[in-house]
Structure 1
Amino acid sequence: MTETLPVGRFQLQQQRVELKRCFLAFLSSHKTLFTVLWITAFVSVFLWQRNIVGARFSIFAKSGPGRPVPKTRSFVFNLTDFGGVGDGVTVNTAAFERAILAISKLEKSDVAQLNVPPGKWLTAPFNLTSHMTLFLAEGAEILGLEDEKQWPLMPPLPSYGYGREHHGPRYGSLIHGQNLKNVVITGHNGTINGQGQSWWKKYRQKLLNHTRGPLVQIMWSSDIVISNITLRDSPFWTFHPYDCKNVTVRNVTILAPVSEAPNTDGIDPDSCEDVVIEDCYISVGDDAIAIKSGWDQYGIAYGRPSRNILIRNLIVRSMVSAGVSIGSEMSGGVSNVTVESVLVWSSRRAVRIKTAAGRGGYVKHITYRNLTFNDARVGIVIKTDYNEHPDNDFDPKALPTLEDISFTGIHGQAVRVPVRIHGSEDIPVRNVTFRDMSVGLSYKKKHVFQCAFVQGRVIGTIFPAPCENLDRYDEEERLVKRSASQNVTDIDYNV
């Protein structure tokens, strides 16, 4: 018996067959398939970039509104219990101070959590205390007062000699701490906003008599954690741990305009030891990260290196400076730094080491691996003539040492100059290694891998072709060709 399909089902089946045939014919065209794939990729990248440059960007998903605030300490206080009003108009400095004073008087070692509820909490700078957690709820925003008269003046940092932008005192940070232990700043992606626009304008107009203050500065402290928050629009450097040990920055978004926001570095570990920076997004008006250790004779005298620093799993952007920098203030030394799994996009430089005669100190045992450069003018920079000094009393014979620097797994596209290593006769760059490198160029002429006074090696095949200063080894690390001279100069700043 032959089954007879109803007219409606038959028509539907015919439509499905016809649709399938049209779809297969559509895909049979290589040109059409390429177009589909290209459009899909473009839309994906567009949506990704739209998200990451948004004012409320976070690479970590947020849960729904009204999440309960976890209890992380033995005692929990709310800012409203101390008179805080989150209307964006009321000044809450006294409320923060009363709450933190109450925490400081508690005797237990794992003391208290201060909850900042949703709202806009305007405040002048205030100090943290040991054994506390500052918790910013979802929708909470701490706002810094824009009137610089409300920001206290502090002595210059001992390893800098003066306030970095002006002689004499410097402005303190919006959130500050000294000689602390066991401090956490975290939340449900709440925001600390320095409202730096007025500071940047006054700086450009030369109306400030003192160096601008950071957004968050912790000094001479240990066991510091910053996580799951947004830091934005700092007057100066955003997070500045100074002479600290055991510092962790995780799941943090740091934002400032990529232009017209001078010196708004993202994270500047300065004479710090045992630091982890991971899973962050940073887009700012200067270096996304800058590792420091003091400036010229002041940093040499202070003698505190930055060492044992791990930087990983970041997306960073710096149209003015670099994604990850070491220096230029590195007079106490920098060593044992690993930078891995970092995407640098739409930036002037990707990774950079900068120093000069007069700095002294050293940069050594630095490892870069699994880096991606997307649209960078210069990919890798080592610069030894960054001649900016605190005063004229520096010793020009205090020469820094640069050695044991490796680059492995370096990839990317749209890079104008992939490598520029500018050593000098007085400050040569020693023992540099390149391996597994392939960077697509946006500049097709010669001299895109530039070297001067550098000694090192290339293992295997890399693109673009390396400079003549470097020895060549095969994949099994057997010597293929020895460089005729490490002192050849092939630097072209016009490229």
Structure 2
Amino acid sequence: MKKIISILFIVCAFCFFSFNAEKETVTLTGIKVKAPFEMPMIYIPNFKNCKKLIITDFGAVQGDKNKNSQAIANAIDKANKMGGGIVVIPKGEWITGKIHFKSNVNLHLEKGAVLLFSDDPSDYLPAVHTTWEGLECYNYSPLVYAYNCKKIAITGEGELKAKMDVWEKWFARPKAHMESLKRLYYLAGYNKPVEERQMVNDTANFRPQFIQFNRCENILMEGVKVTNSPFWTIHPYLSKDVVIRNIQVYAHGHNNDGVDPEMAQNVLIENCILDQGDDAISIKSGRDQDAWRLHTPAKNIVIRNITVKNGHQLLALGSELSGGIENVFMDNCHVVDGAKLNHLLFIKTNERRGGYVKNIYTQNITSGKIAEGVLGIETDVLYQWKDLVPTIEVKLTPIHDIYLENYKVKDVKFIARILGQKELPVENIFLKNIKADIITDKKYITENVLNFSDKE
């Protein structure tokens, strides 16, 4: 009997350790990032010990959307069940529908590989738990979607590209679309369950994000190119430990921000080339009652060595900032001559947002001509919402402790335009060594600002 027990013990131990060894094929690598605030170590996945799974081994065929979609899904499923795997997209163009991640998966695009995403909205159904401009809802799946995943990556030298024929038609905002926006606003404003906010129908036309990491941890996006986007391009949402580096974005459609960390924490964005139709990097933290409920600030975000070729702002904060934004550091970024930007740093909010903005540090920024100015802070930015729906609840946004140092710009209207609110002035704005070759308007335009300083 003792001998039998011993054998069983050995067998069980072998199975236990074999099982755990398989589950630990994806390790974590810590990255230490310097910042003017206490920045936690960022942990990203390391797939060096993981097996490669080539999608052609799972039935992928160039030109066949359905087979490719299924092959990628099957490869992702196997990588997940193995405890970690690298799903390889080989050289060539591969048309596909949606891609849904699972934990412990690296989607790797080889040099010369193009994942071409269909623009048939039905390919992005059923609806998933996602967002529209800071409000949670069920909508078309993002083209690449990860929900509640850990240890995931998109890497390689290939390209993710969106077909745009249908999405471009959705850029227009006809009456039916605006009515759907109003419906979502009221559902969220009165705290209706997210499951009731079904926004897929014949007329809503809520375009999906291209890449969304939703409630995920330990994310790496490195090396790839992202071309075109129905909506926001790269959207880490309620996610932690995110590194986005050495990527290129080209997306010139409506609402095509480059990277939108929203209620994301411990984020590094570095060595990227961003060329898009809206903000290059826009830090957000949800909108109004939804964000007050989720109660998660965007926090500990470092942006460095970014080149911007086009957009609205180099760095925008808001206007969806109701969960708060703090501890942001931008360093050594460049806007090329000819780029059509409005501001280098733009903070925008309104009477509905609440939240807060604090501890924002930016330095060593160079730029050609800027349409507006270096720094803009506005507290009454509502865009189409101003006359679309009434304010449900007034909550102002405290904005304070903003630092800009070592800027060199060729041509601007102003250095700083800060339009605070009488009831809650903007506080503690510190500029140092901000140089512009040409200033065509007033150097400073300030309303309701306390403790503004500009030093040579």
TM-score by length of 1: 0.72
1:137 aligned onto 2:110:
yes
Q: Which residue pairs with 1:270 in the alignment?
A: 262
Secondary structure of the 1:332 match is: coil
Q: Which residue pairs with 1:428 in the alignment?
A: 425
Equivalent residue letter for 1:185:
I
Q: Which residue pairs with 2:6 in the alignment?
A: none
Q: Which residue pairs with 2:161 in the alignment?
A: 193
CA distance in 2, matches of 1:402, 1:333: 10
Q: Which residue pairs with 1:92 in the alignment?
A: 68
Contact 1:252 1:279 in 2 (8 A): yes
Seen in structure 2, the aligned counterparts of structure 1 residues 460 and 350 have a Cα distance that, compared at 3 Å, is closer
Q: CA RMSD in A?
A: 2.1
1:225-247 CA-partner distances (Å, limit 9, x unpaired): 00000011011001101101100
CA distance in 2, matches of 1:231, 1:394: 38
Equivalent residue letter for 1:184:
A
1:104 aligned onto 2:104:
no
Contact 2:95 2:118 in 1 (8 A): yes
Match of 1:402 among 387, 399, 403: 399
1:361 aligned onto 2:329:
no
Deviation of 1:460 after TM superposition, in Å, equals 3.3
Q: Which residue pairs with 2:128 in the alignment?
A: 154
Seen in structure 2, the aligned counterparts of structure 1 residues 72 and 338 have a Cα distance that, compared at 3 Å, is same
1:372 aligned onto 2:366:
yes
Equivalent residue letter for 1:212:
R
Question: What percentage of residue pairs aligned between the two structures are identical?
Answer: 29
Deviation of 1:144 after TM superposition, in Å, equals 0.8
Secondary structure of the 2:271 match is: strand
Alignment gaps of 5+ in structure 1: 1-69, 164-168, 462-495
1:345-390 CA-partner distances (Å, limit 9, x unpaired): 4212222111111111100000011111211112211111012559
Matches within 5 A, 1:15-414: 72-87=48-63, 92-106=68-82, 108=83, 111-152=84-125, 153-157=127-131, 160-161=134-135, 169-187=138-156, 189-204=157-172, 206=174, 208-257=203-252, 261-319=253-311, 321-345=312-336, 346=339, 347-378=341-372, 379-388=374-383, 392=390, 394-396=392-394, 398-414=395-411
CA distance in 1, matches of 2:405, 2:173: 44
Deviation of 1:105 after TM superposition, in Å, equals 1.6
1:125-184 CA-partner distances (Å, limit 9, x unpaired): 121111111110011011111111211222454994455xxxxx3221111111111111
**Structure whose CA Rg is larger:** 1
CA distance in 2, matches of 1:192, 1:158: 22
- How many correspondences in the alignment? 376
TM-score by length of 2: 0.78
Alignment gaps of 5+ in structure 2: 1-45, 178-202
Deviation of 1:426 after TM superposition, in Å, equals 2.3
Greater relative contact order, per chain length (Cα 8 Å cut-off, separation 6+): 2
1:408-463 CA-partner distances (Å, limit 9, x unpaired): 111110223332111121231101101111112262xx4242111112243533xx
CA distance in 1, matches of 2:371, 2:305: 22
